[in-house]
Every structure is written in structure tokens, then in C-alpha cells.
Amino acid sequence: MIRIDLDVMLARRKMSLTQLSEQVGITLVNLSVLKTGKAKAIRFSTLEAICRALNCQPGDILIYEEDAHEQR
């Protein structure tokens, strides 16, 4: 599963979710859905805008973790 680590990067940049929302042009609700891991997808353009605003790489906020419930 992919975990969104947006909180960590926001803290490192000393930026609030509201500030990120304003810079990226995405509603606070949609960013909250992403931050809490409830989003099912993200557009590359959105990911690019977030990375630009936070001055980071996609791998700084998208973390792959093997799901303990998945069978191989």
C-alpha cells in the first residue's frame, strides 16, 4: 500500500495545510482526504504542484509499505 506522508513534509517546511491549499490551488477538503490516506488516486499534476510548493520529491511524501493482509 502507498502511505501519504504529507504531515511530515508540512512540518519540515513549517507550512499549514491551509497554506499548502492556497499555494497549490486545491481545496482544503481534498488535501485533507489525501493527507489522511483516504484518497484512492492522485493526479500527476496535483502531485507536481504539491512537490513544487513543498520543494520536495514525490518519494518524500509517497511511501510504499507492504500490506500485512496481502498474500503473495
Q: Are 10 and 17 in contact (CB under 8 A)?
A: yes
Q: What is the pLDDT of residue 1?
A: 87
Q: Let me know if domain 2-64 sits in CATH 2.102.10.10.
A: no
Q: How far apart are CA 15 and CA 65, in angstroms?
A: 26
* Domain assignments of the chain as residue spans, ordered by start: 2-64
pLDDT by position in tens, the chain (length 72): 888 999 999 999 999 999 999 999 999 999 999 999 899 999 999 999 999 999 999 999 999 988 877 655
Prediction pTM value: 0.86
Decide: residue 70, CB within 10 A, 0-12 exposed, 13-18 middle, 19+ buried.
exposed
Q: How far apart are CA 20 and CA 16, in angstroms?
A: 6
